[in-house]
């Protein structure tokens, strides 16, 4: 099974994936108060402490960089999930989101991805 090369994904695909993960986490969160991406902090710390230049294999360096990028993305998704949850779910969650909660959650995640896209495009234009 080939691993995805996150650096080769185009920006819109990455943002679509990101938005999907946030909404997926929000859906799971209905059952629990807090949802954190599993082991994303531990993986991020572990990978960030490794020095890829000290490793001999370029393939291993690519793998570690990809894992670091995935851990960072998971961390951002978990943080955004919690922020949108705190903003939109004010009462005790039921078995389903109300229509206003669903709209709020969707808009919250979409606003974040839209702003991320604007910021990324701005940085790209500066280079």
Going from N- to C-terminal start, the domains of the chain cover: 6-126
Q: Work out the average pLDDT over 59-81.
A: 84
Q: What is the pLDDT of residue 113?
A: 84
Is 52 a residue whose pLDDT tops 60?
Answer: no
Classify burial at 84, counting beta carbons within 10 Å of its beta carbon; exposed 0-12, middle 13-18, buried 19 or more: buried
d(CA 83, CA 32): 15
Does this model's pTM top 0.75? My answer is no
């Amino acid at each position: 099974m080939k691993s995805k090369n996150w650096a080769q994904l185009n920006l819109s695909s990455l943002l679509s994936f990101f938005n999907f993960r946030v909404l997926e986490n929000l859906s799971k969160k209905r059952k629990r108060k807090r949802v954190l991406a599993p082991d994303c902090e531990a993986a991020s710390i572990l990978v960030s402490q490794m020095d890829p230049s000290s490793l001999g294999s370029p393939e291993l360096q690519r793998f570690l960089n990809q894992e670091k990028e995935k851990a960072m993305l998971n961390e951002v998704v978990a943080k955004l999930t919690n922020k949108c949850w705190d903003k939109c779910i004010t009462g005790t969650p039921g078995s389903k989101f109300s229509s206003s909660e669903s709209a709020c959650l969707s808009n919250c995640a979409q606003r974040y991805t839209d702003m991320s896209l604007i910021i990324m495009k701005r940085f790209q234009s500066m280079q």
